[in-house]
């Protein structure tokens, strides 16, 4: 497929889509009902539908009996951990293998023309982004993911959380599922914005930002101070009438769903004419520029509200530079005032 029909490639080989990123059509003005109706299936298909499918698989087939989950056991913990690690190895490892190791699509639709494995760097364990990111995902974030999961199951198994059944509360639970991706964006924005506060960034979030050119294993490559609260979003379901399937939908949207922002490609070629949209661009720009796009794709466009939205266009670039310049000026003025000299 000719990716230059959909974007441009610069001298370094980096590809930029023709269409700047836009928030969800519900926020477009003038409001266009046709666009909104067309967008609703896209909201679920295929990524959120996949997270719902894995949520159902876990709750209906894979998790231990509710009776055994009434108490915390290492046996259940390690079983659930193994499931999560296996799921990640298949899912993230699948993208890594096909698009980064075999390079099936080469650099077509790839934002950054470089592949991390071709560029060893001292910031990573063993100088390798892939090994570093893989190890942090499997041995740091996944154990915390499993802590969140087993405590969530423990609370449901002991009826400490209000568990309403689908048969009687299907309308409410459908509403919860519909709203969950939007809540995820708000939760992620708040947590992410917080860990960009300089001191927290230095100690916690910089680990994730080591990957300036993110690849699938970068998704959950996090410091525990980020990985644990990030996965703990699923605990929100314990605070209102919900259901383990809905809680798992959130848990898996955070866990498996983190891959979307780190795929590095705009689209994947499925057949000669069909592509799969990655939804990676907005978060790719965050890894590239650091101080833009703290939230997600724009289901709830908080970045627009706070002036940190970057859609990939030259105009957005100028706005970002202007914001950085003003910030620098402010900082300089503060330093001068502190030093006892009049600010100029
Ligand atoms: Zn990221
Ligand atoms: Zn960040």
Cβ 301 vs Cβ 319: under 8 Å:
no
The structural domains of the chain, with segments of one domain joined by +, span 3-312
Distance from the alpha carbon of residue 294 to the mean position of ligand 1, in angstroms: 9
Distance from the alpha carbon of residue 203 to the mean position of ligand 2, in angstroms: 13
Question: What is the pLDDT tens value at each position of the chain, 344 positions in all?
Answer: 899 999 999 999 999 999 999 999 999 999 999 999 999 999 999 999 999 999 999 999 999 999 999 999 999 999 999 999 999 999 999 999 999 999 999 999 999 999 999 999 999 999 999 999 999 999 999 999 999 999 999 999 999 999 999 999 999 999 999 999 999 999 999 999 999 999 999 999 999 999 999 999 999 999 999 999 999 999 999 999 999 999 999 999 999 999 999 999 999 999 888 999 999 999 999 999 999 999 998 899 999 999 999 999 999 999 999 999 998 998 888 888 877 665 55
> How many Å apart are CA 110 and CA 80, to the nearest integer?
34
Q: Which ligand is nearest to the CA of 260?
A: 1
Helical segments of the chain, H only: 33-44, 47-57, 74-95, 129-136, 142-157, 166-194, 198-200, 206-209, 224-231, 244-255, 281-289, 302-305, 314-338
Distance from the alpha carbon of residue 283 to the mean position of ligand 1, in angstroms: 6
Structure tokens at 292: 């833009």
Residue 46 CB contacts under 8 Å (≥ 6 apart), including other chains: 276
> How many Å apart are CA 323 and CA 78, to the nearest integer?
47
pTM of whole model > 0.85?
yes
Distance from the alpha carbon of residue 39 to the mean position of ligand 2, in angstroms: 27
């Amino acid at each position: 497929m000719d990716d230059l029909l959909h974007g441009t490639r610069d001298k370094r080989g980096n590809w930029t889509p023709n269409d700047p990123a836009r928030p969800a059509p519900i926020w477009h003005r003038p409001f266009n009902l046709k666009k909104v109706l067309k967008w609703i299936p896209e909201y679920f298909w295929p990524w959120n539908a996949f997270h719902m499918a894995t949520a159902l698989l876990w709750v209906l087939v894979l998790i231990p009996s509710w009776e055994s989950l009434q108490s915390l056991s290492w046996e259940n913990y390690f079983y659930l951990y193994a499931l999560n690690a296996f799921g990640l190895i298949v899912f993230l490892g699948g993208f890594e293998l096909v698009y980064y190791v075999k390079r099936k699509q080469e650099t077509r639709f790839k934002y950054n023309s470089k592949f991390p494995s071709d560029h060893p760097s001292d910031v990573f364990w063993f100088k390798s982004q892939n090994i570093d990111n893989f190890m942090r995902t499997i041995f740091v974030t996944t154990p915390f993911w499993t802590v969140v999961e087993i405590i969530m199951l423990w609370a449901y198994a002991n009826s400490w959380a209000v568990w309403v059944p689908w048969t009687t509360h299907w309308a409410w639970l459908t509403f919860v599922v519909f709203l969950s991706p939007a809540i995820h964006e708000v939760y992620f924005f708040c947590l992410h914005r917080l860990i960009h506060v300089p001191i927290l960034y230095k100690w916690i979030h910089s680990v994730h930002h080591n990957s300036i050119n993110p690849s699938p294993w970068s998704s959950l490559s996090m410091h525990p101070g980020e990985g644990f609260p990030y996965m703990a979003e699923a605990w929100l379901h314990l605070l209102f009438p919900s259901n383990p399937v809905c809680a798992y939908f959130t848990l898996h949207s955070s866990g498996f769903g983190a891959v979307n922002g780190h795929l590095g490609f705009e689209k994947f070629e499925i057949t000669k004419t069909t592509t799969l949209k990655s939804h990676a661009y907005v978060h790719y720009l965050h890894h590239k520029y650091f101080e833009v796009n703290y939230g997600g794709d724009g289901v709830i466009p908080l970045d627009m509200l706070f002036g940190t939205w970057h859609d990939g266009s030259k105009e957005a670039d100028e706005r970002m530079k202007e914001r950085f310049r003003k910030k620098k000026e402010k900082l300089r003025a503060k330093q001068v005032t502190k030093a006892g000299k009049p600010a100029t």
